[in-house]
Amino acid sequence: MASPKALVLSWFVVSVPLLVIFLLFPHTATILCPSISFAPQQQQALESREEDAVGVSREDLTWVSSQMANAQLGDPPKSAEDWIRMRKGINPRTREEQLYDLRRYHGISHYEESEEKNHTRLPCPSELLVEQHHSNYGEPWAGGRDVFEFIAKASALKRHHRVLEVGCGTLRVGLHFIRFLAAGNYHCIEKDPLSLMAAFSYELPSQGLLHKRPVIVRSDNLEFELLGDNEYDVVYASAAFLHMPDKLVWTGLEKLVPRIKPGGRVFVSHNIKFCSRLGGDECNKKLRELKLEYVGKQTHDSLLFNHYEIWHQFVKV
């Protein structure tokens, strides 16, 4: 251990020259310790956006466009061959090639020893690791963010609200609600076992959302009682009712509406043929009996690709 005298001497040798530099050249402090600062109004706007950031502002679009220009990215490739030529990395692979390797080697950096000594904590099927389930929807996976932003804005969603998705699939939309809402406030009912496998085995762990404890149950017949005694501020069904018999939809609504808070919102995508096929008068009668009021039809555009969806909104009265 160094002696007290040596410690004092070393402090003197290091500190005094720095003090002299600071006194002679005070502007060097800025050079040595750079910082990024915003005007008070900018800082306040950024902090308020961070608290409840839903949607994209004009400033966001301007910023990301400027970043792409600064990086001199230019136009994207025009052909499949050009995309392949641009691919870089240790071992660029297509999704099919990745799947082949995963099946062949039982992983990426795989164990050399027997499979019994594999210490993987959450073994995930290879098909999920290469994200084949992201192609289950007939449109880009990124559309899930568009749906979330539309519903969140249309319902004035807050973090303490409780949301129910009817038919959440592999959580293409649900991930964004889970991330936004307080823990335990996203609920879902889904019938497809493969979709639920993707949700639990891949999406929630890979997105770091296990701690949000979403309530997701499997049911073939809209058994909302499996979700417990909960009331919801927002309920939405993205194309789920399109694949159900009209009678099942109405039976499900009869069980669901009592679980919706007064003033709560219900969003149904694409169409409401389960209602229109009854005829206007009969449909309105059934809605009144359920204490649901039709608000109207709305559309929203995708941020990233040429697509928009139609949504029908109801309110619990």
The string of pLDDT tens digits covering residues 250-309 is: 999 999 999 999 999 999 999 898 888 888 899 999 999 999 999 999 998 899 998 889
pLDDT recorded at residue 31: 38
Mean pLDDT of 222-237: 95
Buried b (16+ CB within 10 A) or exposed e, 95-133: eeebbebbeeeebeeeeeeeeeeeeeeeebbbbbbbbeb
Residue 240 lies inside a defined structural domain of this protein: yes
Mean pLDDT of 190-198: 95
- Given pLDDT bands bounded at 50, 70 and 90, which one contains residue 115? low
pLDDT at 16 over 70: no
pLDDT at 158 over 70: yes
- Given pLDDT bands bounded at 50, 70 and 90, which one contains residue 14? very low
pLDDT recorded at residue 74: 86
Rounded to an integer, what distance in angstroms lies between the CA atom of residue 278 and that of residue 273?
A: 8
Residue 53 lies inside a defined structural domain of this protein: no
Residue 259 lies inside a defined structural domain of this protein: yes
pLDDT recorded at residue 111: 62
Q: What angle do CA 116, 92, 124 make, to 5 degrees?
A: 30
How far CA 300 is from CA of 10, 117, 244, 258, in Å, comes to 67, 50, 24, 28
Instruction: Report the amino acid identity of residue 24.
Output: L
Nearest CA-CA partner of 204 in 126, 262, 122, 265 = 122
When comparing pLDDT for 235 and 139, which is higher? Answer: 235
Residue 97 lies inside a defined structural domain of this protein: no
Residue 299 lies inside a defined structural domain of this protein: yes
pLDDT at 105 over 80: no
Per the structure, the complete domain to which residue 170 belongs is given by: 58-72+123-316
pLDDT at 25 over 60: no
Output phi, psi for 306, to 5 deg. -75, 90
Residue 100 lies inside a defined structural domain of this protein: no
HSE value, Cβ hemisphere, 13 Å, CA-based, for 68: 10
Residue 303 lies inside a defined structural domain of this protein: yes
Mean pLDDT of 89-95: 75
pLDDT at 7 over 80: no
- Given pLDDT bands bounded at 50, 70 and 90, which one contains residue 3? low
Mean pLDDT of 113-117: 69
Q: Enter the tokens of residue 26.
A: 């005070």
Q: Enter the tokens of residue 216.
A: 């997701």
Residue 187 lies inside a defined structural domain of this protein: yes
pLDDT recorded at residue 80: 84
Residue 158: which CATH number?
3.40.50.150
pLDDT recorded at residue 42: 56
pLDDT recorded at residue 226: 94
Task: Convert the pLDDT of each residue in 27-85 to its tens digit.
Answer: 444 434 444 455 555 556 555 555 667 888 899 999 999 999 999 988 888 898 888 88
Q: How many domains does the chain have?
A: 1
Mean pLDDT of 205-227: 95
